Amino acid sequence: MDKIPAMKRFWLLSVVLALGWGVQAHATDWVMDKQTSKLQFVVRYEGSPTVGVFRQFDTRLDFDPRHPEEGHLHVAVSVASADMNSADINSAIRETAWFDVAQFPRGTFESDRITRDKPNE
């Protein structure tokens, strides 16, 4: 079986972004509430899901609820801030076989579309 390169493995993770949006700076620019926001990831080890969190990340959201299709989300992550609640695991996931933090210290996500879950709301 071919070995999956470290950064490709990173993108195979399930990532959950739970954002608390605070003050609306302009009509469509939103400011993330860093106290209530979190960026989690889930990995599977021997078939069992394990949750981790990125402690350092930032977002930019340009969003008008009346026109979500025109919105844009950008997320920048400090990959070294990955925390799986274990010093040994945290050390291991920074190595080349996983996140390869030395070569890839930052990760980014750019939305290609924002859609409405419930029509007419």
Question: Which domains, and CATH codes, for the chain?
Answer: 6-110 (2.40.128.110)
Which three-class secondary structure string do you get for 66-77? CCHHHCEEEEEE
The residue behind tokens 């990125």 is 54
C-beta neighbour count of 12 within 10 angstroms: 9
Q: Please give the pLDDT value at position 2.
A: 41
Q: Please give the pLDDT value at position 6.
A: 44
Mean pLDDT by 10 residues, the chain (121 residues): 42 48 54 84 82 91 82 91 93 90 93 76 57
Q: Please give the pLDDT value at position 79.
A: 94
Q: Please give the pLDDT value at position 9.
A: 42
| DSSP state at residue 6 | H
Q: Please give the pLDDT value at position 112.
A: 80
